[in-house]
Structure 1
Amino acid sequence: MLTQLGAIALVVAPVFGLIGLGFLASLSGHLRERAAEGLSEYVFGLAVPVLIFKTLAEAELPREGQPWGYWIAYFTGAFLVFALGMVASKKLFGRGHLESVIQGFASGQANTVFVGVPLILQAFGPEGAVPLFLLVAVHLPIMMVLATVLAEGAAAGVSVTTFKRLGRMLTLNPILLGIYAGGIAKLTGYVPGGVFKQTLDMLAASAVPCALVSLGLALHRYPIRGDIGPALLISTLKLGVHPAIVYALTRVLPMPPVWADVAVVFAAMPCGINAYLLAHRYKVGITASASAVSLSTAASLFTVTIWFLILGVS
Structure 2
Amino acid sequence: MLMLSLNSTLSIFGLIFLGFLLSLAGLMRRGADEVLSDYVFYLALPVEIFLTTLKSNYTSGVNVSAYVQAYGVGVSILWVVIFFVYRIFLRKSLVEVGLNFIAIGQTNTAFLAVPIFILLLGDSALVVPIIVFQSVVLTAVAILVMEVSSISKAGSLGVFLKKTLWVVFKNPLITSALTGSLISQIKLPHMIDTDFFIIESMEVIARTAAPIALIALGASFYAGRVASTLKNNCNEVAMGVLIKNFLHPAISFGVGHYFFGLSGLLLFALILISAMPSPKNTFIFAQVYGVSVQKFNLIVLATTGVSFFVVNAACYFFSSSCGMRF
Q: Does 1:6 align with 2:3?
A: yes
User: Paired residue for 1:63?
Assistant: 60
Q: Partners in 1 of 2:196 and 2:60 — Cα distance?
A: 28
User: Are the aligned partners of 2:225 and 2:294 in contact in 1 as well (CA < 8 Å)?
Assistant: no
What residue is the counterpart of 2:280 in the other structure?
273
1:259 aligns with 2:266: yes
Q: Match for 2:252 among 239, 246, 249?
A: 246
Contact 1:222 1:290 in 2 (8 A): yes
1:30 equivalenced with 2:36 (yes/no): no
Consecutive aligned runs of 4 or more in structure 1 exceeding 6 Å deviation: none
Output the amino acid matched with 2:141.
Answer: L
CA contact (8 A) 1:19 1:213 kept: yes
Shift of 1:106: 1.3
User: Is the partner of 1:251 in helix, strand or coil?
Assistant: helix
- Name the structure 1 match of 2:177: 179
Find out whether 1:138 has 2:140 as its counterpart. Answer: no
- Which residue in the other structure is 2:161 paired with? 163
1:5-54, Cα deviation, whole Å (9 max, x unpaired): 11101220110000000000011111022321111100000000000111
SS in structure 2 of the partner of residue 31 of structure 1: coil
Go from structure 1 to structure 2 and tell me whether the alpha carbon gap of 1:147 and 1:286 turns closer, same or farther (over 3 Å shift): same
CA distance in 2, matches of 1:150, 1:231: 21
* TM superposition shift of 1:185: 1.5
* Count of aligned pairs between the two proteins: 309
* TM-score, length basis structure 2: 0.89
Identity %, equivalent residues: 23
2:13 to 1, 11, 16: 16
CA distance in 1, matches of 2:281, 2:34: 15
What displacement does 1:117 show? 0.5
User: 1:73 — aligned with what?
Assistant: 70
Q: Deviations over 1:81-106 (max 9, x none)?
A: 22222321234433222212212321
2:56 is aligned with 1:50: no
| Counterparts in 2 of 1:65 and 1:160: CA distance versus 1, 3 Å | farther
Q: Indicate conservation of the 8 Å contact 1:67/1:255, yes or no.
A: no
Measured in 1, the distance between the counterparts of 2:44 and 2:297 equals 25
* CA–CA distance in structure 1, aligned partners of residues 62 and 12 of structure 2: 31
Query: What secondary structure is seen at the aligned counterpart in 2 of 1:108?
Result: coil
Deviation at 1:67, TM superposition (A): 4.0
CA contact (8 A) 2:245 2:275 kept: yes
Shift of 1:138: 1.6
Segment of structure 1 superposing worse, 5-14 or 90-99? 90-99
Quote the RMSD (CA, aligned, Å).
1.8
| Bigger mean CA deviation after superposition, 268-277 or 10-19 | 268-277
Do the aligned partners of 1:103 and 1:285 also contact (CA within 8 Å) in 2? no
Q: Which residue of 1 aligns with 2:116?
A: 119
Matched, 1:237 2:243: yes
Q: Distance in 1 between matches of 2:121 and 2:17?
A: 22
2:46 is the alignment partner of 1:39: no
Match of 1:289 in 2: 296
Deviations 1:196-241 (A, max 9, x none): 1210110011111011001011111223442222111111111111
Change (3 A) 1:197 1:104: closer
List runs of 5+ in structure 2 lacking aligned partners: 321-325
Instruction: Determine the C-alpha separation between the residues in 2 that align with 1:21 and 1:67.
Output: 35
- The answer as to 2:202 corresponding to 1:196 is no
Out of 169-178 and 247-256, give the one that drifted further. 247-256
Distance 2:77 2:170 in 1: 29
Are 2:248 and 2:275, in contact at CA under 8 Å, matched by a contact in 1? Answer: yes
Specify the SS of the correspondent of 1:130: coil
Q: Structure 1 residues 266-275 or 217-226, which shifts more? A: 217-226
Match of 2:81 among 56, 66, 84: 84
Moved more, 277-286 or 5-14: 277-286
Is residue 20–residue 221 contact of structure 2 (8 Å, CA) maintained in 1? yes
Q: What is the CA deviation profile of residues 121-155 of structure 1, one whole-angstrom value per residue up to 9, with x for unaligned ones?
A: 211114xx322212222222212101011111234
SS of the residue 1:63 aligns to: coil
Q: CA deviation at 1:272?
A: 0.7
